[in-house]
Structure 1
């Protein structure tokens, strides 16, 4: 009796040591947990899920003598009135292995760190924990997809305040001994650990069943379900709704049943993510377990989002002295900036992003970075919001470099003469080609040979002649030149006008009044409709205006708001295109500056397809711009809306490309260049997420994914700097109107090189 009592005491002591050791190690494991939200790819199969679980079985395979299985993982599905979310919890030291398994086993899936999830309270009103009636017989793996879909479907709908948590904890069960057809020998007593009390010893059919179960890796598993509501009857109803789906996997000789545990005990285990201290309640193969993790069929169910873009690591090399596009969103590397160096930016950057994706914030941060670095900057913003974001955050040290042009402001307007910056005959001819190509492109459906001849000859006359006050002529003078014969004839008589231009207008003047009007009417109507707008007239009608050559030399910052909402889309597009032609004309003039003295200058052109209308192919412009020290960042909403030539240049000649979430048609085009990202990946990018193919040291890298950074809080009123810029560079409206009239009004006395009283 004493011996028996001693044995019982000794056994209890050993069991206590084992349980105590397991409890202590389980506590350490819980303290080491990190949480990630798992975004599932679309159209996963049970085979995909089982393959991934097999990889996790391999990385959690530990020694048999370990007190606690090697770092279990926890898959939790949490559902509330907002939807269904998957979370994966594991020991922090396992991060590398788990991430590798995701990349290899679940292509297209992505992990997003969720540190707050571990601190989120969950106090289940009712709970249940699962076990099986047999550990050796396989569940119906042919119905795992039905189980997964039914499980997810049962989690919705929910009312506000109701939460369901499905918790699956699993780890490798190790490698079992071989299965023998004969009765097991004493040294092969693995059956004893698999049999429940009352199970019969294995017969031939049982051996076959066990071999089927053992075909895939085996996992030790705990499955718990908890419901948190304010009403216990409602909680029981929701629990039964989900628990009943488990019957999908019942098979001959094996069923999933509830353990005989009090509901509150299960609720506590759910909350604390308790590990079994003695035996695990379930032994499942990876094929069986694949139905319980709720991956399959998610894309067809309400309340769960699938199809998020996979994450790709950043390039190995990045330049420190560069502009930051964002931070890598690749798990384990989220603190690494994604950057683009100044030299590589001269090979240009194209950004594709629909409205609302976060494009404006990205552009604003890049512009502010360039301003802070002391670079010269030229920005054309069709709407004006981008300019306001930049002005609200510019530092005091850069305020004096700002030239802020708002096309809609009529008081103290700032001028940009698109015809006034050519310095020689070749430059004037190129300028005419540039401006003519803008009008031809805008009105291509209503433009014929006669209109082309009138426009070309008129522009050639304006760039080669001077106004009656000896000032340079502007595009605003085009209409008076057409409609006032006396003014036109005074211009053609100037010795600087080429003979071919003079001959054209002399022939025109020999026509009858009716024929003259028939010739010029198509062009006159279009140009007059454009230049008669007071905002356009006051900006483009200034003979001098802002000297972009000085802007390049002095590294100033030109911020132009086209105010599309005020001027109208077509007018803003025409104005923007003319300003881009002026930028290009000024860039070409840098050829006279030695290469070592050409400081990098960066242009940002939003809605680029509507504004980049130049006579040269865009690919040639990008190529020439690099050699002249101009780096161009173009942005557009939709590739499919861009002309084929522009699309080809943006995807072919521009060496760096960045895309945010795009529509299907654009995703099909971009997927060819952003592989291994797929069409679904490019469509599934979240707001403020992007995929980028960047040029580093002249070599285009493999794509990377990133999260763009938010703008800093505003530090000033944007109108403050805009007003200061107008006061510095603007001209009173009355003076502008007076100068426009003076250029076409014949002088009353001898003036300069021309004599008063010249007749028609």
Structure 2
């Protein structure tokens, strides 16, 4: 028994099998249809129809039009998808045992059988048609269609459209006809008798055309579920014992058996691209990834623009990892955790200066920093990068305060580059110097004049370094709240952090591969911060080899530059697509692979995603999941923040006092260290 059901527009295919065939037929079907999944359903949902029509095939020996199979299926699906809540419909074909017949059956009317007429002469092509029909196994069949809707007229209309779709199989000498709608066949449809009265003979190809099974490319937004790879499935009862397992969610396809779907660390190291509009469930999934990483003892860096994600992660920090937490939040609290992108080895000073200058151009715009401003910035940043106490916060003072400038340059020995430049610079008149540095100061003062950023960037020797992600197992959570910092400033700070991270990543080359523990980097609204002075595609490839995973998230493809989009499509091949915008649906469907349509992606509900992963060096087939809600809080968010500030932060007011003394002191040495001396390790 083959049945195609629709409940409120949701399609379901049911197969009823005689007990004697239950051990053979499923395997035979799977052999012919490799992607077929059969799920035992002891009592499937089958709403009893109110009206039923019988389907009858007139030409017993004549073939039907099997070339119309896709049109029949499309027509049936189109009708069934129109059903509303509380409505249902069914297309049912009862199939008898296969049989072979060499002799063409004779069709005679009752008068002819009684001897009152001569049998009609066969057409010349009739035997040829019969041979073509019997080239495949024959089956006796009985077809019915039924419906249940809110009104009898609507029910009759649904049945009429279903009958029209099935009648597309009619040929010149063999028609598929439907009876008048009645209530009498409803019970027989729900409980077929063993003594079935057949209404036609079809071969295997004709039967396949009548069943309404979907053809390739026909699945739409109403049928989004796709099975997950079996090796990724995790039973529900096993998940609590493996808290460090990254999970994508719960499989939506019936064959997944409501099991969870894992995201292996090896797959994550090929990088993960996550997209979805606001409210689709993207941020919750990012928090889930990070909570799993923390439970597994992995290093984590999160950069995000709102703060809600940081709070969700803090609430899930396991007790054993609380001392690993570093929270960087400019403008929050008096104890400030700082960064110094200019600090480092002397031989790399020029490279650090050039990287910061590149970020200035990316954030502020290439046209806003002309050749002369570029020259001034490069030399000033190089001087500060070579200075033992140099920070970005010193930049305006270096360019405007001659006493401070002389004192800083005394710490820098560079007679070939810096000395000639600053000799020229000091030789300018006050008006000329103002004209030269005005464009630079206009840009840098917009963020350095703000106390939150000055305190973040003004620490020459911060108590925390991003290098600890690689040497230890830190959990670094960066909240760049754009409402508090401004979009431009937040973008710059995030870009500075990722640049520092990239330099630390490259230093991993010196380590043997088996000593490179995974470092998991998660960046929400990645387009705002990923502005490295290297090709992003090359960076992703190198990061993978060096044990650094990037999970890059954003809302829509229009946020990405062409280069960034190409890099993600080529090098972040594991993909998790939540409900996309209509503009993105087609492009994302193409990158997810064959069989995924834009309509399917637009049909994803909240917290549902279509995924495709790199697994064992090859791409999986696309599959769908429903993400899981975050577990309960296990840590006090406020206490973790306070502990991080106490452990890694510097008092903001004390830092202001030290900076003022350093900038405006007339002595050759500053009054004290910039920042707090490094903690003992």
Normalising TM by the smaller chain, what interval? 0.7 to 0.9
CA apart distance, 1:203: 4.2
CA apart distance, 1:576: 0.8
Distance in 2 between the 1:618 and 1:246 partners? 54
Q: Does 1:428 align with 2:349?
A: yes
Q: SS of the residue aligned with 1:177? A: coil
Match of 2:238 in 1: none
Match of 2:305 in 1: 382
Q: SS of the residue aligned with 2:372? A: helix
Distance in 1 between the 2:642 and 2:577 partners? 34
TM-score (norm 1): 0.71
CA apart distance, 1:436: 1.9
Shift in alpha-carbon separation, 1:225–1:706, aligned structure 2, 3 A: closer
Shift in alpha-carbon separation, 1:683–1:736, aligned structure 2, 3 A: same
Q: Does 1:75 align with 2:3?
A: yes
Write the deviation string for residues 577-599 of structure 1: whole angstroms up to 9, x where unpaired.
01111222333455676766554
Shift in alpha-carbon separation, 1:294–1:177, aligned structure 2, 3 A: closer
Q: Does 1:615 align with 2:533?
A: yes
Match of 2:325 in 1: 402
TM-score (norm 2): 0.79
Distance in 1 between the 2:403 and 2:663 partners? 9
1:415 corresponds, among 337, 353, 373, to 337
Match of 1:16 in 2: none
Write the deviation string for residues 108-164 of structure 1: whole angstroms up to 9, x where unpaired.
xx8696969x44351333333333445334456676666556555555755553x13
Shift in alpha-carbon separation, 1:90–1:543, aligned structure 2, 3 A: farther
- Number of residue pairs matched by the alignment: 644
Match of 2:433 in 1: 516
Shift in alpha-carbon separation, 1:305–1:732, aligned structure 2, 3 A: same
Match of 2:473 in 1: 555
Shift in alpha-carbon separation, 1:724–1:172, aligned structure 2, 3 A: farther
Distance in 2 between the 1:465 and 1:445 partners? 29
Match of 1:449 in 2: 371
Distance in 2 between the 1:740 and 1:718 partners? 31
Match of 1:729 in 2: 648
Matches within 5 A, 1:443-482: 443-465=365-387, 472-482=389-399
Write the deviation string for residues 214-259 of structure 1: whole angstroms up to 9, x where unpaired.
4555343333233324655664565456556666555666554556
1:131 corresponds, among 46, 52, 56, to 56
Distance in 1 between the 2:306 and 2:666 partners? 42
Match of 1:363 in 2: 286
Please identify the structure whose Cα radius of gyration is greater.
Answer: 1
1:584 corresponds, among 502, 527, 530, to 502
CA apart distance, 1:555: 0.9
Matches within 5 A, 1:624-639: 624-625=542-543, 629-637=547-555
CA apart distance, 1:558: 0.3
Shift in alpha-carbon separation, 1:317–1:270, aligned structure 2, 3 A: closer
Q: Does 1:224 align with 2:144?
A: yes
Match of 2:183 in 1: 263
Distance in 2 between the 1:345 and 1:242 partners? 47
In structure 2, stretches of 5+ residues that fail to align are 114-118, 235-241, 674-681
Distance in 1 between the 2:650 and 2:38 partners? 54
Write the deviation string for residues 85-124 of structure 1: whole angstroms up to 9, x where unpaired.
24243557555554554457xxxxx8696969x4435133
| 8 Å CA contact 2:141, 2:200 repeated in 1 | yes
Distance in 2 between the 1:547 and 1:360 partners? 26
Distance in 2 between the 1:352 and 1:203 partners? 70
Distance in 1 between the 2:408 and 2:619 partners? 58
Match of 2:661 in 1: 742
Distance in 2 between the 1:679 and 1:151 partners? 20
Write the deviation string for residues 464-497 of structure 1: whole angstroms up to 9, x where unpaired.
335xxxxx33222222322333322332233556
Match of 2:618 in 1: 701
The range that moved more, 424-433 or 593-602, is: 593-602
Distance in 2 between the 1:339 and 1:159 partners? 37
| 8 Å CA contact 1:380, 1:562 repeated in 2 | yes
In structure 1, stretches of 5+ residues that fail to align are 1-71, 105-109, 181-190, 467-471, 755-760
CA apart distance, 1:425: 1.2
Shift in alpha-carbon separation, 1:341–1:498, aligned structure 2, 3 A: farther
Match of 1:44 in 2: none
| 8 Å CA contact 1:474, 1:540 repeated in 2 | yes
| 8 Å CA contact 1:148, 1:296 repeated in 2 | yes
Shift in alpha-carbon separation, 1:323–1:249, aligned structure 2, 3 A: closer
| 8 Å CA contact 1:351, 1:658 repeated in 2 | yes
Distance in 2 between the 1:247 and 1:220 partners? 18
1:165 corresponds, among 89, 96, 107, to 89
Distance in 2 between the 1:138 and 1:677 partners? 32
Write the deviation string for residues 293-342 of structure 1: whole angstroms up to 9, x where unpaired.
446899999xx747858657467999x99745556777746658444245
Distance in 2 between the 1:198 and 1:261 partners? 29
CA apart distance, 1:521: 1.6
Match of 1:204 in 2: 122
Distance in 1 between the 2:69 and 2:612 partners? 38
Shift in alpha-carbon separation, 1:233–1:437, aligned structure 2, 3 A: closer
Distance in 2 between the 1:255 and 1:594 partners? 74
CA apart distance, 1:649: 4.6
Shift in alpha-carbon separation, 1:413–1:144, aligned structure 2, 3 A: same
| 8 Å CA contact 1:413, 1:733 repeated in 2 | yes
Distance in 2 between the 1:616 and 1:537 partners? 27
Match of 1:65 in 2: none
Matches within 5 A, 1:171-250: 171=95, 173-179=97-103, 191=105, 203-205=121-123, 207=127, 210-211=130-131, 213-214=133-134, 217-229=137-149, 231-232=151-152, 235-236=155-156, 238-240=158-160, 242-243=162-163
Match of 2:116 in 1: none
Q: Does 1:505 align with 2:505?
A: no
Match of 2:15 in 1: 89
**Cα RMSD, aligned residues only:** 4.5
